[in-house]
Amino acid sequence: MSKKVAELLNTQINNEMYSAYLYLDMAVYYEKQGLDGYENWFTIQAKEEMDHAMLIMQYMQNNDMEVNLLPIAKPDKVFEKYEDPLYASLEHEKLVTSLIHEIYGAAYDIRDFRTMKFLDWFVDEQGEEEKNASDMITRFELFGRDPKGLYELDNEYKARVYSAPSLVLD
């Protein structure tokens, strides 16, 4: 693994932890609004992001690369309407996708096939993350502006359960 790829992976650990903070911030917003289902959805999302950081850290350790934990920035988004966190979530997932692609590109440039194989899971995961965020926006726009529809969506999101990612690391 090159120094550049290792640096990008270290930075991505921080980006994933920031993502967890951002989603926890969204969960706190929804809790204050009395939307426990949305709170649940974003709390689980935060756990997934922490898992992503841990996967990258473990991969680096398994490959004898130094892990440097960086300070995690405080989320700076202000949410005023129910849909604000949904749009911020999609925007953020698109950013994370671009960061994963940057690491993948750096690994590709030096033919670091092991890291590319490792990142394949993250590339797929980001496609899923963007779709989930986009679907939440679509569903909110269709049903969430009506109190009964918002209530039903919120109840649906209460049913989401956490499941840790299954990824075999080299």
User: Cα separation of 138 and 144, whole Å?
Assistant: 9
In a domain, 165, yes or no: no
- The answer to whether residue 168 sits within a structural domain is no
Domain presence at residue 133: yes
Q: Give me the number of domains the chain comprises.
A: 1
Whether residue 59 lies inside any domain: the answer is: yes
Domain annotation covers residue 36: yes
Contact criterion met (CB below 8 Å) for 144 and 83: yes
Q: Is 1 helix (H, G, I), strand (E, B) or coil?
A: coil
Residue 86 covered by a domain: yes
| CATH assignment at residue 59 | 1.20.1260.10
40-74 pLDDT, tens per residue? 999 999 999 999 999 999 999 999 999 999 999 99
Q: What is the pLDDT along the chain (170 residues), one digit of tens a residue?
A: 899 999 999 999 999 999 999 999 999 999 999 999 999 999 999 999 999 999 999 999 999 999 999 999 999 999 999 999 999 999 999 999 999 999 999 999 999 999 999 999 999 999 999 999 999 999 999 999 999 999 999 999 999 998 877 666 65
The answer to whether residue 167 sits within a structural domain is no
The parent domain of residue 8 ranges over: 3-158
Backbone angles phi, psi at 143, to 5 degrees: -125, -25
Q: How far apart are CA 146 and CA 56, in angstroms?
A: 41
Question: Could you tell me if residue 120 is inside a domain?
Answer: yes
The answer to whether the beta carbons of residues 22 and 92 sit under 8 Å apart is: yes
